[in-house]
């Protein structure tokens, strides 16, 4: 064995011994545990989806609802289908969403939506939104949409477009709305509507009553104004004839000059030189800037047999409120018909002092919904805007047509600041003065008892001197109003009625003045009119109120202050001469010429009646004027002695 092998042998022996020692001295460890394993079976996990699909039979979404050149009355349609292709049931809704275009056109369009053949919406396109309900997985719904441009749409919608889409929104049935959970949104877009150019629309054709043109042409001529409205700016023309026509062609006459400018929507044309006793048939004709011309239906009017039968207008302003309570647009004007026949006022105008911005009378702005004022009746016209001034005054005017064409029928001006709710009204209706009563639109203007009593007192003081009427420029002193109050029987009477006189003695503040005046009149009554007075004429005593047997040449009549004529005096020859002014001191009666007045028993003396003789007056040349002084002096002295002293 070699040395290397011997060393290996010793090494192996040492390794064995060490292992045995470790086995003897090492401690003994025992390990133990418990385990319980459980298992389940039949468990599975799956995923589903919420999925809606929208389609159209019109070749898909790219070939959408497109209407080029729609005009009023046109409609276009499109169908749609929504299919639940997911594994989940869902709720859904459909609504309109604008993409581009005109708000005015989108708002004007009307939509009818049908679900499964049943109409679920029929209103403005712009407001469209409806619930489709619940759609179960694997099911679908059919929809039909019809969009219409309504008849009568204004021409302002010409050449516009509205591009929009229908949006279908689906969501989980666990939620009330699509703000939570899974949501699927599908669109049916590409829907574009474009309008074209269409004819204007004529409405409200009417004519005024025939108006006399005497002094403008001749006694056999009259004129009539024709008015109407259009849906866009157009020209204003009328064709007319004495025979009826089937259409706009063939009429023998038209207004002159012909209107060639399309610049108005409210029209009025006056037809002149119309013959008395003739019926005319007419049509309104309007053409827009695009050359689209329309003609109205045929209407007619008749000129009376003589223009003397055409009265001045019996339609008058009767009441108005320029400052209504609440909304300023509540201003109104009441018309009154004084005649015994109905009168049409369609197309007449209410203007203010500026004669601009007037309000045309039509069935749309009256209390009756018509434009005829019945005989003895009323018609209230609503201005529907703030038009009349509330401060500084204004004038309300009634024209038979547009300013510059129609005739001014009636007007009334007012001044100052107008309180809210104040009414201006005629008393009595149609003819009286304008005062401020309680408002009575469409009814007879009446004063309350307390208002009438107040006016009685005012008129008694302002319009009368005692019982007699005096000259006055005050509004309330006009005859019509005094007659309305019962102060006089007729508007031209100069004396208060007996019944009203007795009433005012106990009502009027001026009663004491009236009574004092009556008492003063009695106290200052001339002696010759009293029963207890006597007088002496030419040396003869005569009871007052009686007549003495006096020779005619002994009595000189009083000289009238105006012309100083001498009546019942001896005939004298008087040459024309300037009148002399009699000074007050010349009227003094000397003491020696005064006549004593004696008391005598009352009796009825017999008076010898003699026929009056007119004094003969011979005109002399002016150069002999000096003789007048002597004559006048002699007559005046005689007058002083025999008459003035008596008074």
Does position 295 have pLDDT exceeding 90, yes or no?
yes
Mean pLDDT, the chain, whole residue set: 74
Q: 76-107 burial, b for 16+ CB within 10 Å, e for fewer?
A: bebebebbbebebbbbbbbebeeeebbeebbe
Q: Can you give the pTM of this predicted structure?
A: 0.40
Confidence (pLDDT) at 523: 46
Report DSSP state, residue 226. E
| Gap between the Cα atoms of 201 and 359, Å rounded | 21
pLDDT at 284: 96
For the purposes of burial, counting CB atoms within 10 Å of the CB of 496, is it exposed (0-12), middle (13-18) or buried (19 or more)? Answer: buried
Q: SS3 of 22, please? A: helix
Q: Which residues of 146-178 are buried (b: 16+ CB within 10 A; e: fewer)?
A: bbbbeeebebebbebbbbbbbbbbbbbeeeeeb
**Which of 10-14, 133-137, 259-263, 524-528 has the least mean pLDDT?**
524-528
Which distant-in-sequence residues (6+ apart) come within 8 Å of 155 by Cβ? Answer: 198, 200, 201, 231, 232, 288
Q: Six-digit token pair at 271?
A: 């037809």
Token output for 372: 């005829």
Q: What is residue 560's predicted lDDT score, i.e. its pLDDT?
A: 40
Distances (CA, A) of 504 to 24, 428, 447, 481, 486: 158, 22, 18, 17, 12
Q: Residue 44: what pLDDT?
A: 66
CA dihedral in degrees (519, 523, 528, 532; nearest 10)?
A: 100
* pLDDT higher than 90, residue 351: yes
Highest mean pLDDT among 218-232, 280-294, 616-630: 280-294
Place 545 in a pLDDT band, splitting at 50, 70 and 90: very low
Query: Which range among 64-78, 137-151, 279-293 shows the weakest confidence by mean pLDDT?
Result: 64-78
d(CA 114, CA 91): 18
Q: Please compute the mean of the pLDDT values over residues 48-55 and round it to a whole number.
A: 90
CA 593 to chain CA centroid, nearest Å: 80
Q: What is the pLDDT of residue 204?
A: 92
DSSP three-state, residue 358:
coil
Positions of CATH 2.60.40.3880 in the chain: 52-195
User: What is the residue whose two structure tokens read 């309008």?
Assistant: 195
pLDDT of residue 172 exceeding 50, the answer is yes
pLDDT tens digit sequence for 55-110: 988 753 333 455 668 888 889 888 999 999 999 999 999 999 999 999 999 999 99
The per-residue pLDDT for 309 is: 43
**pLDDT recorded at residue 330:** 85
What is residue 27's predicted lDDT score, i.e. its pLDDT?
55
pLDDT at 469: 84
The three-point CA angle 622-625-629 to 5° equals 165
Report the pLDDT value the prediction gives residue 51, as an integer from 0 to 100: 93
Class of the CATH domain delimited by 315-435 = mainly beta
Residue 490 vs residue 589, higher pLDDT: 490
pLDDT at 23: 54
CA distance 393 to 352: 10
Spatial contact of 93 and 132, defined as CB atoms under 8 Å apart: yes
434 three-class SS: strand
The two tokens of residue 442 are 């469409």
Q: Provide the pLDDT confidence category of residue 550 given band limits of 50, 70 and 90.
A: very low
pLDDT value for 573 = 42
Nearest to 352 by CA among 316, 308, 383, 312: 383
Residue 270 predicted with pLDDT over 90: no
Number of C-beta neighbours around residue 54 at 10 A: 22
Residue 67 forms beta bridges with which residues?
Answer: 193
Q: Identify whether 428 is preceded by a cis peptide bond (ω within 30 of 0).
A: yes
pLDDT of residue 126: 93
Q: What is the pLDDT of residue 644?
A: 44
297 token code pair: 């239906």
Rounded-to-10 torsion of CA 364, 369, 375, 381 = -40
- As assigned by CATH, the class of the 52-195 domain is mainly beta
Q: Which residues contact 299 (CB under 8 A, 6 or more apart)?
A: 205, 206, 207, 226, 281, 282, 283
pLDDT the model gives residue 556: 35
Mean pLDDT, residues 320-343 taken together = 84
CA distances from 476 to 104, 440, 482, 489 (A): 56, 20, 7, 16
The CATH-assigned architecture of domain 202-309 is Sandwich (2.60)
Whether the predicted pLDDT of 250 surpasses 80: yes
Q: Percent of the chain scored above 70 by pLDDT?
A: 66
Confidence band (pLDDT; 50, 70, 90) for 587?
A: very low
Higher pLDDT, 235 or 476: 235
User: What pLDDT band is residue 21 in, cutting at 50, 70 and 90?
Assistant: low
Whether the per-residue pLDDT at 329 is higher than 80: the answer is: no
Q: Per the structure block, which two tokens stand in for 470?
A: 């005096």
What is the distance of C-alpha 35 from the center of its chain? 103
- 367-392 average pLDDT score: 90
Taking the C-alpha atoms of residue 202 and residue 11, their distance in angstroms, rounded to an integer, is 133
**93 with 167: CB under 8 angstroms?**
no
Question: What is the per-residue pLDDT for 497?
Answer: 86
Segment 427-466, tens digit of pLDDT: 788 777 787 777 788 888 777 777 778 888 877 887 887 8
- Sequence ranges of the chain with CATH classification 2.60.40.10: 202-309
Please write the tens of the pLDDT for every residue from 459-500: 788 788 788 888 776 777 877 778 887 888 887 787 888 888
In angstroms, the CA 271 to CA 237 distance is: 10
Q: What percentage of the chain has pLDDT greater than the value 90?
A: 29
pLDDT at 516 over 70: no
| Contact residues for 585 (Cβ-Cβ < 8 A; gap 6+) | none
In this prediction, residue 544 carries a pLDDT of 39
């Amino acid at each position: 064995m070699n040395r290397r092998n011997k060393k290996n042998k010793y090494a192996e022996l040492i390794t064995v011994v060490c292992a045995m020692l470790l086995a003897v001295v090492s401690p003994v460890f025992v390990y133990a545990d418990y385990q319980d394993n459980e298992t389940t079976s039949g468990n599975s996990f799956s995923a589903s989806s919420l999925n809606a699909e929208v389609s159209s039979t019109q070749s898909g979404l790219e070939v959408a609802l497109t209407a080029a050149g729609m005009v009023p009355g046109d409609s276009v349609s499109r169908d749609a289908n929504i299919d639940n292709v997911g594994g989940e049931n869902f709720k859904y809704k459909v609504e309109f969403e604008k993409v581009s275009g005109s708000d005015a056109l989108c708002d004007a369009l009307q939509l009818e939506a049908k679900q499964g053949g049943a109409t679920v919406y029929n209103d403005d396109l712009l407001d469209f939104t409806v619930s489709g309900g619940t759609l179960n997985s694997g099911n679908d719904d059919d929809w039909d949409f019809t969009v219409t441009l309504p008849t009568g749409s204004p021409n302002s919608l010409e050449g516009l477009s509205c591009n929009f889409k229908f949006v279908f929104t689906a969501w989980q049935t666990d939620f009330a709305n699509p703000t939570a959970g899974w949501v699927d949104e599908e669109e049916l877009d590409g829907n574009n509507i474009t309008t074209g150019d269409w004819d204007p629309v004529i409405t409200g054709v009417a004519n005024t009553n025939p108006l006399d043109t005497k002094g403008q042409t001749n006694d056999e001529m009259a004129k009539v104004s024709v008015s109407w409205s259009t849906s866009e700016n157009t020209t204003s023309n009328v064709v007319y004839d004495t025979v009826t026509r089937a259409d706009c062609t063939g009429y023998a006459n038209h207004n002159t000059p012909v209107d060639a400018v399309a610049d108005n929507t409210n029209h009025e044309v006056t037809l002149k030189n119309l013959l008395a006793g003739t019926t005319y048939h007419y049509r309104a004709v309007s053409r827009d800037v695009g050359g689209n011309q329309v003609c109205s239906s045929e209407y007619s009017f008749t000129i009376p047999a003589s223009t003397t039968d055409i009265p001045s207008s019996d339609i008058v302003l009767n009441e108005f409120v320029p400052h209504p309570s609440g909304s300023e647009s509540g201003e109104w004007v009441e018309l009154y018909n004084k005649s015994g026949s109905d009168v049409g006022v369609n197309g007449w105008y209410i203007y203010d002092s500026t004669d601009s911005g007037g309000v045309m009378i039509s069935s749309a702005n009256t209390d009756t919904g018509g434009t005829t004022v019945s005989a003895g009746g009323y018609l209230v016209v609503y201005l529907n805007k703030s038009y009349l001034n509330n401060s500084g005054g204004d004038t309300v005017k009634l024209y038979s047509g547009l300013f510059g064409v129609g005739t001014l029928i009636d007007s009334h001006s007012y001044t100052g600041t107008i309180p809210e709710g104040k009414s201006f009204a005629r008393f009595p209706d149609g003819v009286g003065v304008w005062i401020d009563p309680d408002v009575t639109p469409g009814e007879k203007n009446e004063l309350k008892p307390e208002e009438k009593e107040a006016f009685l007192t005012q008129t008694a003081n302002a319009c009368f001197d005692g019982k007699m009427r005096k000259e006055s420029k005050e509004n309330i002193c006009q005859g019509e109003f005094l007659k309305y109050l019962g102060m006089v029987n007729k508007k031209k009477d100069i004396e208060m009625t007996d019944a009203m006189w007795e009433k005012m003695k106990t009502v009027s503040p001026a009663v004491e003045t009236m009574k004092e005046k009556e008492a003063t009149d009695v106290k200052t009554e001339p002696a010759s009119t009293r029963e207890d007075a006597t007088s002496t004429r030419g040396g003869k005593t005569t009871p007052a109120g009686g007549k003495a047997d006096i020779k005619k040449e002994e009595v000189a009549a009083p000289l009238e202050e105006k012309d100083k004529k001498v009546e019942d005096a001896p005939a004298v020859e008087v040459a024309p001469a300037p009148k002399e002014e009699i000074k007050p001191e010349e009227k003094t009666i000397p003491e020696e010429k005064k006549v004593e007045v004696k008391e005598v028993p009352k009796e009825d003396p017999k008076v010898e009646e003699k026929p009056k003789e007119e004094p003969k007056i011979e005109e002399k040349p002016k150069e002999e004027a000096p003789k007048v002084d002597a004559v006048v002096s002699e007559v005046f002295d005689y007058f002083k002695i025999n008459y003035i002293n008596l008074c």
